[in-house]
Amino acid sequence: MASATKGNCYLCGAELGKVAMKNHLLKTHGEAAGQECCLLKIEGAYDKDYWLYVDIPVSSTLNTLDTFLRKIWLECCGHMSAFSGPGHREIGKNRKLGVFSDSDQLLHEYDFGSTTETLITVIGRTFRKPQKEAVRLLARNIPPVFRCAECGADAAYICAECIYETDNPFYCEACAEGHEHEEMLLPITNSPRMGVCGYEGDQDTYIFISPKVMPGGKSK
Lay out the sheet containing 90-91: strands in order across.
15-16, 7-9, 136-141, 51-57, 35-44, 116-128, 105-110, 81-84, 90-91
Max CA separation in the chain (angstroms):
58
Q: Helical H runs in 98-186?
A: 173-176
At its nearest, how many Å lie between Zn ion and the CB of residue 136? 13
Pick one of 135, 148, 186, 188: the residue that binds Zn ion (CB under 5 A). Answer: 148
**Which residues face 154 on adjacent strands?**
147
The count of residues interacting with Zn ion (CB under 5 A) is: 17
Position 161 contacts Zn ion (CB under 5 A): yes
- Residue 121's alpha-carbon distances to 52, 105, 179, in angstroms, are 11, 5, 40
* 172 is a contact residue toward Zn ion (CB under 5 A): yes
Can residue 212 be called a binding residue for Zn ion (CB under 5 A)? no
Q: Does 175 bind Zn ion (CB under 5 A)?
A: yes
Stretch that binds Zn ion, among 43-51, 53-61, 85-93, 197-205 (CB under 5 A): 197-205
Q: Residues in the site for Zn ion, rule: CB under 5 A?
A: 9, 11-12, 14, 76-77, 148, 150-151, 153, 159, 161-162, 172, 175, 181, 197
